[in-house]
Structures are given as structure tokens and as C-alpha cells.
Amino acid sequence: MITLNHYLAVGGLLFCIGLFGALAKRNAIAVLMGIELMLNAVNINLVAFNHFLAPDQVTGQIFAIFVIVVAAAEVAVGLALVLNIYRRRLDSNIDDLDWLKW
């Protein structure tokens, strides 16, 4: 029997993989990918909760849709910024973005 916890475990795993990607990758786009993974993990959680705990309402699914929308917006702006920076520095590595520090 597949329980809620199974889904949550998948969500958790996905979240942490995404987190690892976001923390450990040099390329800004890869970081964005990691973030997308994290958001997907949240969505799995939301939908699973919706399915197992409160199926009378679709709150979780609605929430997930909003998350997807926001994620899309974030990606759009994020990629635009990456392009902007790339054009200036010919580089999309985050390591090098340290003009602002201390």
C-alpha cells in the first residue's frame, strides 16, 4: 500500500536533490534548474496532501498551480538576468559574481 509518506518521501528526496543542485552548481542556469526541482517537490507534497488528507477541496492542487505559475515567472526573469549578465561578462558562473561583498 502506497501511503502518504511514500509520496512525501519522494517529495523530500526531490527537494533535497534540487537543493543540492542549487547549492553546488556553478552555472546560474543549473542553479535555476535546482530551484525548479525544489518547487516540484513542494508541488508533490501539496498534491499528495490534497489527495490523502483533504480531498473534498482542491486547495492543494490550486496551490500547486500557483506555484507553477510563479516558478515560470521566476524562470523567465531569472533567465533574462542570466542573459543580461552573460552579455556583460560572457560568463554565467555564479562564482564570479562577487563584486558585491563585505
Partner 1 sequence: MANWHLLTVEILTAALGLGLLALGLLVPHSDRRGIAYVATAGLAGILAVAIGMREASGVVLGGYVIDPFGTYFKILFLVAAMLTAVCSYDYVEKMGLNQAEYYALLILATLGMMILASSGELVSLYTGLELMTITFCILAAYHLGDAKSAEAGIKYLLLGAMSSAIFLYGLSLVYGSSGTTVIREIGQQVATRGASPALLLGTIFILAGFAFKVTAVPFHMWSPDVYEGAPTPVTGFLSVASKAAAFAALVRVFFGALPDLHNFWVQLFIALAVLTIVLGNLVAIPQTNIKRLLAYSSIAQAGYLLLGIVSFSVLGVGAVAYYAMLYVFGNMGAFMAATAFYNNDGSDEIKDYAGLARRSPLVAALMLFSLLSLAGIPPMAGFVGKFYLFMSIISRQYIWLAILGILMSMVSVYYYLLVAKAMYLGNPPEGSKPLQVAPGLQVAMVVSLLILFILGIYPTPLTNYAMNSAVTFFMP
Partner 2 sequence: MLDVSALLFWLLAAITIAAALAVVLLKNIVHSALYLVLTFAGVAGIYILLQAEFLAAVQLLIYAGAVAILIVFAVMLTRRGDIKASNLYNFNYLAAGVVSLALLVIIILGNGRMAWTAAPAPAPASNVAAIANAFLGRYAIPFEVAAVLLLVAMVGAILLARGGKPER
Partner 3 sequence: MINHAWLIPVFPALAFPIIIFLTRRVRPLSALVGIAAIGASFVMAVGVLREVLLNGVTMAHPVEYASTWLGIPGLLKIEAGVLIDPLAAVMLLVVTLVALLVEIYSVGYMHGDPGFSTFFGYLSLFSASMLGLVLANNYFMIFFFWELVGLCSYLLIGFYYHKQSAARAGLKAFVTNRVADFGFMLGFFFLFAIFGTFNFRELAAAIPSYQNTGFLALAAALVFIGPIGKSAQFPLHVWLPDAMEGPTPVSALIHAATMVAAGVYLLARAFVLFASLPGIMLLVAYVGGFTALFAATIAITQRDIKRILAYSTISQLGYMVMAMGIGSMTAGMFHLMTHAFFKALLFLGAGSVIHALEEQDIFRMGGLYKDMKVTVSTFVIAALALAGVPPLAGFWSKDEILAGAFDHGFTGLYIIGTLVAFLTAFYMFRLIFVAFFGDRRAGLHAHESPLTMTVPLVILAVLSVVSGFVGAPFVSHGFSSFVYYGEPHHIEPNYGVMLLSTIVALAGIGLAWLLYGRPSDVPARLAERYRSIYKLLVNKYYIDEVYLWLFHRVGLGLAEAFNWHDRHVVDGVFDGVGDVTRLSGHKLRLLQTGNLQTYALVIFTAVVIIALWMAAPVLGGVIQ
Question: Which residues of the chain form contacts with partner 1 (CB under 8 A)?
Answer: 15, 18-19, 22, 28, 31-32, 35, 38-39, 41-42, 45-46, 49, 53-54, 59-60, 62-63, 66-67, 70, 73-74, 77-78, 81-82, 84-85, 88-89, 94, 97, 99-101
Q: Which of residues 56, 57, 90, 102 is near partner 3 by CB under 8 A?
A: 102
**CA angle centred on 32, ends 26 and 35, rounded to 5°:** 115
**Phi and psi for 56 in degrees, rounded to 5?**
-70, -20
The angle that helices 28-52 and 4-24 make with each other, rounded to 10 degrees, is 170
Q: Which of residues 23, 57, 87, 90 is near partner 3 by CB under 8 A?
A: 23
| Residue 24 binds to partner 3 (criterion: CB under 8 A) | yes
Q: From CA 47, how far away is CA 84, in angstroms rounded?
A: 36
What are the residues whose beta carbons fall under 8 Å from the beta carbon of 55, sequence distance 6 or more?
none
Task: State in angstroms the smallest separation of the CB of 37 from partner 3.
Answer: 14
Binding residues for partner 3 (CB under 8 A): 19, 22-24, 31, 94-95, 97-102
